[in-house]
Structure 1
Amino acid sequence: MSQLAAFIDKKRQTKPILSMTHVVYGYPTVQESLDWMARLMKEGVDFIEVQFPFSDPVADGPSIVAACHKALEQTLDVETCLAQLGKLAKDFPESRIVLMSYLNPMYRFGLEKFAKRASEENILGLILPDLPIEQAVDYRAACEKYQIDPVWLVTPVTPKDRLAMLASQANGFLYCVARSGVTGHSVHEDKAHENNHHTTSLDNYLAEIKQHANAPIGVGFGLRERAQIEQLIGKADIAILGSALLDAYNRGGQEEGIKLINALFH
């Protein structure tokens, strides 16, 4: 079992579902984003998914795209980001950090170096949503070498055979997108997708994933209400809070964000 899966397994013995919160590194400034991560960890979130911004974040909805563009008004540096996250990982041993970005900035940094430095800074998982597993031979080898988990994504429209393959390859956890499209819209807003023959109910989708996955399951995209998180209990291990948390932070800073987390998870 990988370090990431072992951490999830241990935490799940005392919690029905774990919390993962998404933060854009550098938004609105580097220091404010680090302060926000520290506050989230202090408040007891289990995971922080830190997004290193990229100018064309194709999987993200409007709130996160705007935050990425704002963050990129500064000069951001992957090495500095990794070192700062490493300090947070040391300061808050009860939480874990997963780093998410897109292939372009990490390819420029060097994928093997990325895996090595992340591992050295006690970041246990890496998410690159625009890197298909078939084109990730060197990246996967580097992750294995440095004992860090590449986290793969599946969606409700992933073909069944591909879903089975990705689920069976997952180690740390499998990131299950709860709805097709970009982040940020509520699951309930997807009326237009209900007639799409690919789209199964969330329960059926997660049941199918569980048939193939030995790794823990995280579910994100569109989680905004406590009822949605309660629906995941017993079917997933991690509920991932992204755009809803950013929207709360934009409305009222850290206090508003923490209020949302408490309402959803406590």
Structure 2
Amino acid sequence: MKDNKIKLMSHLVAGYPTDELAFTAARALVDGGASILEVQLPFSDPSADGPAIQGACTEVLKRGYKTEDGLNFIAKLHKEFPEVSIYLMSYGSLVYTPGVENFCKKAAAAGVTGMIIPDLPFDFDEGLTAACQKNGMNNIPVAAPSMSPERLKKMATAGFPYIYAALRTGITGTETSVDKATIDFLKATGEGGSKLYGGFGISNGNQAKALADSVEAIVAGSVFVRIITENKDNSEALYKAVRAKAEELTNKKN
């Protein structure tokens, strides 16, 4: 690492457990050193999310939370933390149903600069990449170790500024070991010059340090959602716990 600070993209579920507490968590993440807030719009059938994030989405949707509510939450975050990049993570149907271009226009207006839609293939994305470019955003496709070498190479050399490298197959939230195979996968994903975000199962500082030299930023999600769930009855405790974990992952105190 060029310096001790590790760049962190941290994941939040919009509106979980309430908009107010989600905002408290966002503040804790930023104060703890997060450079990017990845905000997920709650979705009823998330294909890549583990139990922690699925449970959070279900709880928010029970309140009748809509896409518009999520975009309003993002707009508030952008106004409060203008120096922090905000990426929107969701699934294809939420983007496709209102029209891809229409959705991207609204997302950009709310302050989003990157879109992560894991179930839209990079080479058959319903016009997402073009709509993002038109609205000053990046489409950030997701690479996985299960991809064939040929398909991974096609993605790596397609000219995307950023690629999200899912460090293993399956769902988020279970522990990931950073080994030689992980590093080899990252090298292949970055072959074309795209900057990489590496995540799936990152929950502690040792994992973050092991990844830091191979990625633009580490990505952590379920670990924060679990901390928020454990502390959702105490706003002050929630802030302290989320900030402490962010500081651990960014190596901020060292």
Does TM, scored on the shorter chain, surpass 0.5?
Answer: yes
Deviates more, 1:224-233 or 1:51-60: 224-233
Partner of 2:235: none
RMSD over aligned Cα, in angstroms?
A: 2.2
- Which secondary structure does the structure 1 equivalent of 2:213 belong to? coil
Q: 1:49 to 1:96 in 2, by over 3 A?
A: same
Higher relative contact order (CA 8 A, sep 6+): 2
Q: Which amino acid in structure 1 is aligned with residue 129 of structure 2?
A: R
Count how many residue pairs are aligned between Structure 1 and Structure 2: 245
**Higher helix proportion (structure 1 or 2):** 1
TM-superposition CA deviations, 1:184-219 (whole Å, max 9, x none): 01114x9xxxxxxxx97111111222222x221000
Q: 1:183 to 1:89 in 2, by over 3 A?
A: same
TM-score of the superposed pair, with normalisation by structure 2? 0.88
Partner of 1:174: 163
Q: Within 2, Cα distance between the matches of 1:102 and 1:90? A: 25
- Which secondary structure does the structure 2 equivalent of 1:20 belong to? strand
TM-score of the superposed pair, with normalisation by structure 1? 0.85
Choose the corresponding residue for 1:228, options 200, 207, 219: 207
Sequence identity percentage? 30
TM-superposition CA deviations, 1:66-110 (whole Å, max 9, x none): 111111111222233223312321321221110001112222232
Q: Which amino acid in structure 2 is aligned with residue 249 of structure 1?
A: I
- Structure 2, gaps ≥5 residues long: 232-237
Q: 1:113 to 1:225 in 2, by over 3 A?
A: same
Q: Which amino acid in structure 1 is aligned with residue 227 of structure 2?
A: A
- Structure 1, gaps ≥5 residues long: 1-11, 191-198
| Offset, 1:259 | 1.5
Q: Which amino acid in structure 1 is aligned with residue 221 of structure 2?
A: G
Q: Which amino acid in structure 1 is aligned with residue 67 of structure 2?
A: V
Choose the corresponding residue for 2:152, options 132, 152, 163: 163
Partner of 1:187: 176
Partner of 1:75: 64
Q: Within 2, Cα distance between the matches of 1:89 and 1:144? A: 20
Shift >6 Å, 4+ stretches: 12-15
Q: Within 2, Cα distance between the matches of 1:89 and 1:15? A: 27
Verify the 8 A CA contact 1:187 1:223 in the aligned structure 2: yes
